[in-house]
Amino acid sequence: MKLELGYIQINDIQFSKECKVENSTLFVDPDAVKAFMYEDDDVKAWVKDFSFDVAKPGESVRITPVKDVIEPRVKVEGPGGVFPGVISKVDTVGSGKTHVLRGMAVVTAGKIVGFQEGIIDMSGPGADYTPFSKLNNFVVVAEPVEGYQDHKHEYEHAVRIAGLRAATFIGEIGRNVTPDETQEFETLGIKEGIEKYPDLPRVAYVHMLQTQGLLHDTYVYGVDAKRTLTTIINPTETMDGAIISGNCVSACDKNTTYHHLNNPVVKALFAAHGKTLNYVCNIITNENVYLADKQRSSDWSAKLCRLLDLDGAIVSQEGFGNPDTDLIMNTKKIELQGVKTTIITDEYAGQDGKSQSLADADPLADAVVTGGNANEVIILPKMDKVIGTLDYVDVIAGGHAGSLRPDGTIEAELQVITGATNEMGFNRLSAR
Protein backbone atom coordinates (compact mmCIF):
# COMPACT_ATOMS: atom_id res chain seq x y z
CA MET A 1 0.00 0.00 0.00
CA LYS A 2 1.48 3.31 -1.13
CA LEU A 3 0.47 6.83 -0.08
CA GLU A 4 1.82 10.17 -1.21
CA LEU A 5 1.45 13.06 1.23
CA GLY A 6 1.49 16.51 -0.34
CA TYR A 7 2.34 19.13 2.27
CA ILE A 8 0.82 22.58 1.85
CA GLN A 9 2.63 24.92 4.22
CA ILE A 10 0.35 27.21 6.25
CA ASN A 11 2.10 30.12 7.98
CA ASP A 12 -0.93 32.24 8.77
CA ILE A 13 -4.72 32.00 9.12
CA GLN A 14 -7.05 34.87 8.23
CA PHE A 15 -10.85 35.02 8.54
CA SER A 16 -12.35 35.87 5.17
CA LYS A 17 -15.56 35.34 3.22
CA GLU A 18 -13.55 33.62 0.50
CA CYS A 19 -11.96 30.28 1.41
CA LYS A 20 -8.56 29.71 -0.20
CA VAL A 21 -4.86 29.13 0.37
CA GLU A 22 -2.62 31.84 -1.01
CA ASN A 23 1.09 32.37 -0.33
CA SER A 24 0.98 29.95 2.61
CA THR A 25 -1.93 31.81 4.21
CA LEU A 26 -5.21 30.04 4.85
CA PHE A 27 -8.24 32.25 4.29
CA VAL A 28 -11.31 30.71 5.88
CA ASP A 29 -14.89 31.73 6.57
CA PRO A 30 -15.88 30.71 10.13
CA ASP A 31 -19.58 30.97 9.24
CA ALA A 32 -19.11 28.43 6.48
CA VAL A 33 -17.23 26.13 8.88
CA LYS A 34 -20.05 26.51 11.40
CA ALA A 35 -22.72 25.73 8.80
CA PHE A 36 -20.79 22.61 7.77
CA MET A 37 -20.50 21.44 11.39
CA TYR A 38 -24.22 21.97 11.97
CA GLU A 39 -25.10 19.75 9.00
CA ASP A 40 -24.59 16.88 11.45
CA ASP A 41 -27.72 16.07 13.48
CA ASP A 42 -25.83 15.23 16.67
CA VAL A 43 -23.91 18.51 16.52
CA LYS A 44 -27.25 20.28 16.01
CA ALA A 45 -28.78 18.45 18.97
CA TRP A 46 -26.02 19.01 21.53
CA VAL A 47 -23.99 22.10 20.65
CA LYS A 48 -25.73 25.39 21.36
CA ASP A 49 -23.15 27.51 19.60
CA PHE A 50 -19.56 27.72 18.39
CA SER A 51 -17.16 30.62 18.58
CA PHE A 52 -13.95 30.84 16.56
CA ASP A 53 -10.53 32.29 17.12
CA VAL A 54 -7.01 32.02 15.75
CA ALA A 55 -3.97 31.47 17.96
CA LYS A 56 -0.53 31.97 16.44
CA PRO A 57 2.93 30.93 17.66
CA GLY A 58 4.50 33.46 20.03
CA GLU A 59 1.26 35.19 20.99
CA SER A 60 0.34 35.77 24.63
CA VAL A 61 -2.57 33.35 24.35
CA ARG A 62 -3.77 30.43 26.44
CA ILE A 63 -6.23 27.90 25.00
CA THR A 64 -8.15 25.85 27.59
CA PRO A 65 -9.90 23.47 28.19
CA VAL A 66 -8.58 21.74 25.06
CA LYS A 67 -10.35 18.61 23.87
CA ASP A 68 -8.71 17.57 20.59
CA VAL A 69 -6.19 18.82 18.03
CA ILE A 70 -6.72 17.82 14.40
CA GLU A 71 -4.67 18.45 11.27
CA PRO A 72 -6.74 19.28 8.18
CA ARG A 73 -6.20 16.82 5.33
CA VAL A 74 -8.00 15.93 2.13
CA LYS A 75 -7.84 12.84 -0.04
CA VAL A 76 -7.16 13.93 -3.62
CA GLU A 77 -6.50 10.55 -5.26
CA GLY A 78 -7.27 6.95 -4.39
CA PRO A 79 -10.08 5.21 -2.53
CA GLY A 80 -11.92 6.60 0.46
CA GLY A 81 -11.78 9.91 2.27
CA VAL A 82 -10.29 11.27 5.49
CA PHE A 83 -11.60 10.01 8.84
CA PRO A 84 -13.14 6.88 7.29
CA GLY A 85 -16.17 5.42 9.03
CA VAL A 86 -16.74 8.71 10.82
CA ILE A 87 -16.77 11.58 8.33
CA SER A 88 -16.14 9.71 5.07
CA LYS A 89 -17.56 6.34 4.04
CA VAL A 90 -15.83 3.36 5.57
CA ASP A 91 -13.69 2.50 2.48
CA THR A 92 -10.09 1.52 3.21
CA VAL A 93 -7.77 4.53 3.10
CA GLY A 94 -3.97 4.79 3.06
CA SER A 95 -3.27 4.70 -0.68
CA GLY A 96 -3.25 7.30 -3.45
CA LYS A 97 -2.61 10.94 -2.58
CA THR A 98 -3.53 13.08 0.39
CA HIS A 99 -2.98 16.81 0.85
CA VAL A 100 -1.92 18.02 4.28
CA LEU A 101 -2.32 21.58 5.56
CA ARG A 102 0.94 21.57 7.48
CA GLY A 103 1.79 24.15 10.13
CA MET A 104 -1.76 24.49 11.36
CA ALA A 105 -4.41 22.63 13.32
CA VAL A 106 -8.02 22.73 14.33
CA VAL A 107 -8.24 22.85 18.13
CA THR A 108 -11.54 22.03 19.82
CA ALA A 109 -12.07 23.60 23.22
CA GLY A 110 -14.79 24.25 25.79
CA LYS A 111 -16.18 22.45 28.79
CA ILE A 112 -16.90 18.75 28.48
CA VAL A 113 -15.57 16.86 31.46
CA GLY A 114 -13.64 19.88 32.70
CA PHE A 115 -10.94 18.11 34.66
CA GLN A 116 -9.89 15.96 31.73
CA GLU A 117 -9.09 18.58 29.15
CA GLY A 118 -5.81 20.45 28.73
CA ILE A 119 -3.94 23.71 28.29
CA ILE A 120 -2.05 25.01 25.24
CA ASP A 121 0.06 28.14 25.78
CA MET A 122 1.22 29.86 22.60
CA SER A 123 4.22 31.52 24.30
CA GLY A 124 6.19 31.40 27.55
CA PRO A 125 7.53 28.33 29.33
CA GLY A 126 4.32 26.31 28.80
CA ALA A 127 4.71 26.65 25.04
CA ASP A 128 7.97 24.70 25.17
CA TYR A 129 6.08 21.66 26.46
CA THR A 130 3.39 21.42 23.80
CA PRO A 131 4.01 20.87 20.10
CA PHE A 132 0.81 22.77 19.31
CA SER A 133 2.31 26.12 20.34
CA LYS A 134 4.29 25.97 17.09
CA LEU A 135 1.18 25.74 14.93
CA ASN A 136 -1.33 28.28 13.67
CA ASN A 137 -4.42 27.10 15.47
CA PHE A 138 -7.96 27.52 14.25
CA VAL A 139 -9.74 27.25 17.59
CA VAL A 140 -13.34 26.12 17.81
CA VAL A 141 -14.93 26.73 21.21
CA ALA A 142 -18.09 24.72 21.69
CA GLU A 143 -20.90 25.65 24.04
CA PRO A 144 -23.22 22.84 25.13
CA VAL A 145 -27.01 22.98 25.13
CA GLU A 146 -28.77 23.20 28.51
CA GLY A 147 -28.90 19.92 30.40
CA TYR A 148 -25.86 18.40 28.65
CA GLN A 149 -24.44 17.31 32.04
CA ASP A 150 -26.58 14.18 32.02
CA HIS A 151 -25.59 13.40 28.43
CA LYS A 152 -21.83 13.79 28.39
CA HIS A 153 -21.25 10.84 26.08
CA GLU A 154 -23.60 12.35 23.50
CA TYR A 155 -22.05 15.78 23.94
CA GLU A 156 -18.48 14.46 23.65
CA HIS A 157 -19.51 12.65 20.47
CA ALA A 158 -21.00 15.86 19.05
CA VAL A 159 -17.87 17.92 19.78
CA ARG A 160 -15.65 15.15 18.41
CA ILE A 161 -17.65 15.10 15.16
CA ALA A 162 -17.72 18.91 15.03
CA GLY A 163 -13.91 19.10 15.26
CA LEU A 164 -13.45 16.47 12.57
CA ARG A 165 -15.96 18.25 10.33
CA ALA A 166 -14.15 21.58 10.80
CA ALA A 167 -10.86 19.90 9.86
CA THR A 168 -12.51 18.22 6.87
CA PHE A 169 -13.97 21.52 5.66
CA ILE A 170 -10.58 23.25 5.95
CA GLY A 171 -8.75 20.29 4.41
CA GLU A 172 -11.03 20.57 1.39
CA ILE A 173 -9.73 24.12 0.80
CA GLY A 174 -6.36 22.53 0.02
CA ARG A 175 -7.71 20.09 -2.57
CA ASN A 176 -6.58 22.01 -5.66
CA VAL A 177 -3.51 23.64 -4.15
CA THR A 178 -0.10 22.50 -5.42
CA PRO A 179 1.82 21.08 -2.46
CA ASP A 180 5.11 22.68 -1.39
CA GLU A 181 6.61 19.26 -0.79
CA THR A 182 5.63 15.65 -1.34
CA GLN A 183 6.67 12.47 0.42
CA GLU A 184 5.89 8.83 -0.36
CA PHE A 185 5.30 6.01 2.09
CA GLU A 186 4.92 2.37 1.13
CA THR A 187 4.18 -0.82 3.01
CA LEU A 188 4.92 -4.09 1.20
CA GLY A 189 3.11 -7.40 1.47
CA ILE A 190 4.71 -9.89 3.88
CA LYS A 191 6.34 -12.06 1.20
CA GLU A 192 7.36 -9.08 -0.94
CA GLY A 193 9.04 -7.49 2.07
CA ILE A 194 11.02 -10.61 2.93
CA GLU A 195 12.16 -11.02 -0.68
CA LYS A 196 13.13 -7.38 -1.05
CA TYR A 197 14.95 -7.04 2.27
CA PRO A 198 16.09 -10.59 3.14
CA ASP A 199 18.83 -9.41 5.51
CA LEU A 200 17.03 -6.64 7.36
CA PRO A 201 15.40 -7.19 10.76
CA ARG A 202 11.60 -7.28 10.60
CA VAL A 203 10.09 -4.65 12.89
CA ALA A 204 6.48 -3.74 13.65
CA TYR A 205 4.91 -1.00 15.70
CA VAL A 206 2.59 -2.15 18.48
CA HIS A 207 0.35 0.87 18.94
CA MET A 208 -1.68 0.80 22.16
CA LEU A 209 -4.94 2.73 22.11
CA GLN A 210 -6.62 4.24 25.17
CA THR A 211 -10.01 2.48 25.46
CA GLN A 212 -11.04 2.55 29.12
CA GLY A 213 -14.54 3.81 28.39
CA LEU A 214 -16.25 6.61 30.35
CA LEU A 215 -15.04 9.07 27.70
CA HIS A 216 -11.56 7.54 27.48
CA ASP A 217 -11.98 6.14 24.00
CA THR A 218 -10.33 5.79 20.61
CA TYR A 219 -12.05 4.94 17.35
CA VAL A 220 -10.71 2.95 14.39
CA TYR A 221 -12.69 3.36 11.15
CA GLY A 222 -15.51 4.51 13.42
CA VAL A 223 -15.38 1.41 15.61
CA ASP A 224 -15.04 1.93 19.35
CA ALA A 225 -11.66 0.25 19.91
CA LYS A 226 -12.60 -1.16 23.31
CA ARG A 227 -14.87 -3.56 21.44
CA THR A 228 -12.10 -4.83 19.16
CA LEU A 229 -9.48 -7.53 19.24
CA THR A 230 -5.84 -6.69 18.54
CA THR A 231 -5.40 -6.36 14.81
CA ILE A 232 -3.14 -5.22 11.98
CA ILE A 233 -3.33 -1.91 10.15
CA ASN A 234 -1.21 -0.40 7.37
CA PRO A 235 0.78 2.54 8.71
CA THR A 236 -0.43 4.79 5.86
CA GLU A 237 -4.06 4.21 6.87
CA THR A 238 -3.36 6.16 10.04
CA MET A 239 -2.14 9.11 7.91
CA ASP A 240 -5.64 9.38 6.43
CA GLY A 241 -7.36 9.49 9.81
CA ALA A 242 -8.23 5.82 10.32
CA ILE A 243 -7.61 6.31 14.06
CA ILE A 244 -9.20 9.23 15.88
CA SER A 245 -9.20 10.38 19.47
CA GLY A 246 -12.37 10.44 21.56
CA ASN A 247 -10.38 10.89 24.71
CA CYS A 248 -11.22 13.11 27.64
CA VAL A 249 -8.27 12.06 29.78
CA SER A 250 -5.07 13.56 31.21
CA ALA A 251 -3.87 16.03 28.62
CA CYS A 252 -0.13 15.35 28.76
CA ASP A 253 -0.14 11.78 27.47
CA LYS A 254 -3.32 11.31 25.51
CA ASN A 255 -2.85 10.97 21.78
CA THR A 256 -4.84 13.64 19.99
CA THR A 257 -6.06 12.99 16.46
CA TYR A 258 -3.12 15.18 15.31
CA HIS A 259 -0.72 12.73 16.98
CA HIS A 260 -2.41 9.79 15.24
CA LEU A 261 -2.12 11.52 11.86
CA ASN A 262 1.53 12.46 12.45
CA ASN A 263 2.68 9.50 14.52
CA PRO A 264 6.43 9.98 15.03
CA VAL A 265 7.01 6.24 15.51
CA VAL A 266 5.47 5.62 12.08
CA LYS A 267 7.60 8.39 10.57
CA ALA A 268 10.81 7.13 12.17
CA LEU A 269 10.15 3.55 11.11
CA PHE A 270 9.42 4.63 7.53
CA ALA A 271 12.66 6.65 7.52
CA ALA A 272 14.60 3.52 8.52
CA HIS A 273 12.60 1.19 6.24
CA GLY A 274 14.77 -0.54 3.67
CA LYS A 275 17.93 0.87 5.24
CA THR A 276 18.38 -0.56 8.71
CA LEU A 277 15.11 -2.46 9.11
CA ASN A 278 12.05 -3.78 7.32
CA TYR A 279 8.98 -1.95 8.68
CA VAL A 280 6.35 -4.67 8.48
CA CYS A 281 3.12 -3.04 9.76
CA ASN A 282 1.31 -1.58 12.73
CA ILE A 283 -0.45 -3.74 15.31
CA ILE A 284 -3.21 -1.90 17.16
CA THR A 285 -4.28 -3.13 20.57
CA ASN A 286 -6.56 -1.70 23.25
CA GLU A 287 -6.33 -0.81 26.96
CA ASN A 288 -9.55 -2.02 28.59
CA VAL A 289 -10.72 -2.03 32.19
CA TYR A 290 -11.39 -5.75 32.60
CA LEU A 291 -8.43 -7.99 33.41
CA ALA A 292 -9.67 -10.65 30.98
CA ASP A 293 -9.63 -8.04 28.18
CA LYS A 294 -6.08 -7.04 29.07
CA GLN A 295 -5.01 -10.67 28.99
CA ARG A 296 -6.80 -11.43 25.72
CA SER A 297 -5.54 -8.32 23.91
CA SER A 298 -1.92 -8.73 25.00
CA ASP A 299 -2.00 -12.47 24.17
CA TRP A 300 -3.20 -11.43 20.73
CA SER A 301 -0.40 -8.84 20.30
CA ALA A 302 2.18 -11.51 21.04
CA LYS A 303 0.47 -14.02 18.72
CA LEU A 304 0.52 -11.55 15.84
CA CYS A 305 4.18 -10.65 16.46
CA ARG A 306 5.08 -14.34 16.21
CA LEU A 307 2.86 -14.94 13.19
CA LEU A 308 4.56 -12.05 11.39
CA ASP A 309 7.98 -13.54 12.24
CA LEU A 310 9.15 -10.25 13.69
CA ASP A 311 12.62 -9.62 15.04
CA GLY A 312 11.59 -6.53 16.93
CA ALA A 313 8.64 -4.42 18.01
CA ILE A 314 8.26 -0.84 19.24
CA VAL A 315 5.44 -0.61 21.79
CA SER A 316 3.87 2.77 22.61
CA GLN A 317 1.46 3.32 25.49
CA GLU A 318 -1.34 5.84 25.88
CA GLY A 319 -2.30 7.18 29.28
CA PHE A 320 -0.98 5.90 32.60
CA GLY A 321 -1.94 3.91 35.68
CA ASN A 322 -3.65 0.65 34.82
CA PRO A 323 -2.54 0.91 31.13
CA ASP A 324 0.95 0.37 32.55
CA THR A 325 -0.18 -3.22 33.01
CA ASP A 326 -1.31 -3.50 29.38
CA LEU A 327 2.11 -2.16 28.42
CA ILE A 328 4.00 -4.63 30.57
CA MET A 329 1.76 -7.56 29.55
CA ASN A 330 2.31 -6.76 25.86
CA THR A 331 6.04 -6.37 26.32
CA LYS A 332 6.54 -9.47 28.39
CA LYS A 333 4.47 -11.71 26.13
CA ILE A 334 6.06 -10.36 22.93
CA GLU A 335 9.55 -10.85 24.38
CA LEU A 336 8.64 -14.44 25.35
CA GLN A 337 7.91 -15.06 21.65
CA GLY A 338 11.56 -14.22 20.95
CA VAL A 339 10.76 -10.75 19.60
CA LYS A 340 12.81 -7.89 21.04
CA THR A 341 10.86 -4.88 22.28
CA THR A 342 11.46 -1.25 23.04
CA ILE A 343 8.70 0.54 24.91
CA ILE A 344 7.74 4.22 24.88
CA THR A 345 5.96 5.45 27.98
CA ASP A 346 6.03 8.39 30.39
CA GLU A 347 6.47 8.63 34.14
CA TYR A 348 4.45 9.58 37.20
CA ALA A 349 7.38 9.67 39.53
CA GLY A 350 6.06 12.31 41.94
CA GLN A 351 6.86 16.01 41.99
CA ASP A 352 10.37 15.24 43.23
CA GLY A 353 10.84 12.46 40.66
CA LYS A 354 11.72 9.94 43.38
CA SER A 355 8.70 7.62 43.27
CA GLN A 356 8.23 4.51 41.14
CA SER A 357 7.60 5.71 37.58
CA LEU A 358 5.20 3.02 36.38
CA ALA A 359 2.51 1.08 38.22
CA ASP A 360 3.81 -2.18 36.77
CA ALA A 361 7.19 -3.52 35.72
CA ASP A 362 8.99 -6.61 34.46
CA PRO A 363 12.66 -7.49 33.88
CA LEU A 364 11.85 -8.26 30.23
CA ALA A 365 10.91 -4.61 29.69
CA ASP A 366 14.57 -3.66 29.55
CA ALA A 367 14.54 -1.08 26.76
CA VAL A 368 12.50 1.96 27.71
CA VAL A 369 12.10 5.39 26.17
CA THR A 370 10.46 7.94 28.46
CA GLY A 371 8.38 10.95 27.50
CA GLY A 372 9.19 12.64 30.80
CA ASN A 373 7.78 12.98 34.32
CA ALA A 374 4.19 14.22 34.20
CA ASN A 375 4.27 15.20 37.89
CA GLU A 376 6.95 17.83 37.40
CA VAL A 377 5.66 21.22 38.55
CA ILE A 378 5.63 24.19 36.22
CA ILE A 379 4.65 27.83 36.69
CA LEU A 380 2.77 29.29 33.77
CA PRO A 381 2.68 33.09 33.48
CA LYS A 382 -0.52 35.05 32.97
CA MET A 383 -1.47 35.41 29.32
CA ASP A 384 -3.02 38.52 27.77
CA LYS A 385 -5.80 36.49 26.19
CA VAL A 386 -7.63 33.29 27.06
CA ILE A 387 -9.49 31.34 24.39
CA GLY A 388 -12.06 29.22 26.22
CA THR A 389 -12.25 29.60 30.00
CA LEU A 390 -9.99 29.37 33.07
CA ASP A 391 -12.88 27.90 35.09
CA TYR A 392 -11.36 24.42 35.14
CA VAL A 393 -7.67 25.14 35.81
CA ASP A 394 -7.93 24.19 39.51
CA VAL A 395 -9.62 20.87 38.80
CA ILE A 396 -7.88 19.78 35.62
CA ALA A 397 -5.80 16.59 36.13
CA GLY A 398 -2.42 17.90 37.25
CA GLY A 399 -3.91 21.02 38.80
CA HIS A 400 -4.93 21.54 42.44
CA ALA A 401 -7.05 23.93 44.50
CA GLY A 402 -5.24 27.23 44.10
CA SER A 403 -3.48 26.31 40.85
CA LEU A 404 -4.88 29.48 39.32
CA ARG A 405 -3.32 32.17 41.48
CA PRO A 406 -4.87 35.60 42.11
CA ASP A 407 -2.26 37.23 39.84
CA GLY A 408 -3.36 35.05 36.91
CA THR A 409 -0.34 32.75 36.92
CA ILE A 410 -0.83 28.99 37.15
CA GLU A 411 1.09 26.49 39.25
CA ALA A 412 0.44 22.94 38.12
CA GLU A 413 1.99 19.66 37.08
CA LEU A 414 3.05 19.13 33.45
CA GLN A 415 0.05 16.81 33.23
CA VAL A 416 -2.18 19.81 32.44
CA ILE A 417 -0.37 20.63 29.18
CA THR A 418 -1.72 19.00 26.03
CA GLY A 419 0.91 16.63 24.64
CA ALA A 420 3.62 17.42 27.25
CA THR A 421 4.73 13.85 27.94
CA ASN A 422 3.33 12.20 24.81
CA GLU A 423 4.13 8.50 24.67
CA MET A 424 4.70 8.38 20.94
CA GLY A 425 7.77 10.52 21.69
CA PHE A 426 6.25 13.48 19.88
CA ASN A 427 7.44 16.29 22.07
CA ARG A 428 10.63 17.86 23.38
CA LEU A 429 10.80 15.77 26.52
CA SER A 430 11.20 12.63 24.45
CA ALA A 431 14.56 10.94 24.40
CA ARG A 432 15.00 11.44 20.67
Partner 1 sequence: MVKEIERAGIPVVHMCTVTPISMTVGANRIVPTIAIPHPLGNPALSPEEEKAIRRKLVERALEALTTEVEDQTIFEV
Q: Which of these is catalytic: 248, 252, 281, 305?
A: 248
* Contact residue for partner 1 among 283, 328, 365, 424 (CB under 8 A): 328
Q: Is the dihedral of CA 273, 274, 278, 284 positive or negative?
A: positive
**Selected range binding partner 1 among 184-192, 264-272, 325-333, 412-420, rule: CB under 8 A:** 325-333
Binding of partner 1 by 364 (CB under 8 A): no
| 252 belongs to the catalytic site | no
- Closest to 417 (Cα-Cα) out of 377, 384, 382, 368: 377
Binding of partner 1 by 146 (CB under 8 A): no
Binding of partner 1 by 92 (CB under 8 A): no
Three-state SS for 322-357 is CHHHHHHHHHHHHHHCCCEEEEEEEECCCCCCCCCC
Residues 273-302 interacting with partner 1 (rule: CB under 8 A): 289-291, 294
**Selected range binding partner 1 among 51-59, 128-136, 212-220, 365-373, rule: CB under 8 A:** 212-220
Q: If binding means CB under 8 A, how many residues of this protein chain bind partner 1?
A: 15
Residue 413 three-state SS = strand
The phi-psi region of residue 256 (left if phi > 0; otherwise alpha if psi is between -120 and 50; otherwise beta) is beta
DSSP 269: H
Binding of partner 1 by 361 (CB under 8 A): yes
- Report d(CA 418, CA 15) in Å as an integer: 25
- Binding mask 167-206 toward partner 1 (x if CB under 8 A, else -) reads ----------------------------------------
Binding of partner 1 by 322 (CB under 8 A): yes
Q: Tell me the CA end-to-end span of the chain in Å, nearest whole number.
A: 28
For partner 1, the closer of residues 76 and 361 by Cβ is 361
Residues 369-428 interacting with partner 1 (rule: CB under 8 A): none
Binding of partner 1 by 329 (CB under 8 A): yes
- Closest to 70 (Cα-Cα) out of 37, 45, 92: 37
Q: What is the smallest separation between the CB atom of 329 and partner 1, expressed in angstroms? A: 7
**Residue 65, preceding bond cis, omega within 30 degrees?**
yes
Binding site for partner 1 (CB under 8 A): 212-214, 289-291, 294, 322, 324-325, 328-329, 359-361
Q: Which residues are catalytic?
A: 248
